[in-house]
Amino acid sequence: MLVSYFHIAPSILLELITIPLFTGIIGYITNWTGILMLFKPLTFHGVRVPGLATLFPFLPTRIQVLPLLRYDGQMGWQGIVPSRADKMASIAVDKGLSKLGSVSDFYRELEPDALAEHLTSIAEEQIHDIVEEIAIREHPQLWYNLPAGLRDMVHERVRQQLPEVLHHLTTELGSNIEQLLDVKQMVIRYFRTRPQLLNTVFQVLGAKELRFMQNFGFYFGAPMGVVLVGILHLTHWSALAVLPIGGVVIGWVVNWIGLNMIFSPAYPKWWCPWRQGLLVKRQLEITEGYAELVATQIMTVANVGDELLNGPRSDRTMQVLEETLRPATDRALGPARGPVKFVIGDRDYEILQDSFADRAKSLAPAAFADPAFNAQQSAQVSRYIAKQMAALPPPSFVDMLRAAIKQDEWLLFVHGGVLGLIAGYAHLLIFGTALATHWL
């Protein structure tokens, strides 16, 4: 029917159907597999290639850093995003979190006063046993010789002084937080051990755009197939050149346009068919998801506490804790400080101070890791991040999201070109190189 109505020869009709179908399908597959390349697999999978380990040190750095090769002689693949965990986490801090506020700002949003109250509630449950343990261990005879009323007075004074001591502690941590906490290294270590979370950051933020990019491959590729048919018949160039080269161009361009539609332009432009980057149009919507993710997974009380207590600067944290907690012994003993120090001596009194400070420090990990408290404080941090992100100008917003993958976008373009080349030769292999010479 189409042949008789449009006066099209069957051979040309076959070209008009098969070539756009091939280019549309390859465009879809290009973007679909390109998205997979970004995120999967989480760890490197490959096979050992003889001689590659010897050759690897002599390869250009640009080749060495590809997630395609390993220094141990393996060739395979690892998702671009998880393979760049260190660098992407660093960029996420430089381009993202650093734009949202300083370390002090985030610590303030974690509410140090609430943290002090939380530490107090945990310490109050154990402080009686801690005092007993230290007193019995260091000076059992002296402790047992004290009248029961005096021992109770010591316990009560310690309990009364506890909130003020811990409030002073969280204030001191806040005053020194810039020296105690290296956010960039914290985020890098966190993402390095949890590459799936780095994937989630991108997949949650750009879920709609990733789906669009996948479908755009077909929407763009199919019409370009019609263009290839026109080129074949208008120029009479050989199909051996037009289809493979056209496939390369389509595969490359479909990714280039798709990515630019997602991120560019930052501000609406009248001359741009899509007016503004698709991701930028959803800035307010994306801020909520990003804020919740960062607040519940990255900038949490638990992670900050772990970094303070176990990170590379933990020695400084311990010094602050010790300097803050050692005088707590004096405040707890109150008027009894002089007689106690006289009885046990200066040296033993210092040991007593150290013991109390060390035992008090052991309460911190449990306080920082408490799930209920983390959830409560995460809501506060989430609101702060959402507010800050919403105020970012569009170029900064785009830069924050795109910077992490921008350096590897060329891999997606090359990937598209290679698949386009394969598709061109596949069409030639199935349908041959002969072309119709007339329309009817």
Return the closest-CA partner of residue 131 out of 324, 317, 328: 328
Judge whether 291 and 385 are in contact, CB under 8 Å: yes
pLDDT of residue 436: 45
Helix ranges restricted to H, 84-147? 85-91, 98-100, 103-109, 112-138, 140-145
Distance of CA 9 to the CA centre of its chain: 56
pLDDT of residue 79: 83
Backbone CA torsion sign across 65, 46, 252, 276:
negative
All residues at 6 or more sequence positions from 11 whose CB lies less than 8 Å from its CB, including other chains:
434, 435, 436
d(CA 382, CA 295): 5
3-class SS of residue 311? coil
**Cα dihedral value 62, 67, 68, 69, nearest 10:** 70
3-class SS of residue 110? coil
Read out DSSP for 245-282? Answer: HHHHHHHHHHHHHHHHHHH--SS--TTSTT-S-HHHHT
**pTM beyond cutoff 0.85:** no
3-class SS of residue 389? helix
3-class SS of residue 76? strand
pLDDT of residue 389: 74
d(CA 94, CA 105): 15
Burial class (CB in 10 A: 0-12, 13-18, 19+), 238: exposed
Q: What CA–CA distances, in Å, run from 166 to 17, 118, 278, 284, 373?
A: 75, 9, 48, 38, 16
Q: What is the CA radius of gyration of the chain?
A: 32
* pLDDT per residue of the chain (440 residues) written in tens, 0 to 9: 445 545 555 667 777 778 888 888 888 888 888 888 888 888 888 888 888 888 888 888 777 777 888 888 888 888 877 887 777 677 666 766 666 677 787 778 777 888 778 777 877 777 777 777 777 776 677 777 777 777 777 777 777 777 787 787 788 888 888 888 777 777 777 777 777 877 877 777 777 888 888 888 888 888 888 888 888 878 878 888 888 888 888 888 888 888 888 888 888 888 888 888 888 888 888 877 777 777 787 777 788 878 877 778 888 877 777 777 667 666 666 666 666 666 666 676 677 666 766 766 677 777 777 777 777 777 777 777 777 777 778 887 787 777 667 777 888 888 888 888 888 888 788 776 655 444 33
d(CA 127, CA 135): 12
Give me the residues paired with residue 341 across strands.
none
pLDDT of residue 349: 65
Number of Cβ within 10 Å of residue 328's Cβ equals: 21
Q: What CA–CA distances, in Å, run from 345 to 130, 169, 338, 342, 350?
A: 22, 27, 10, 5, 9
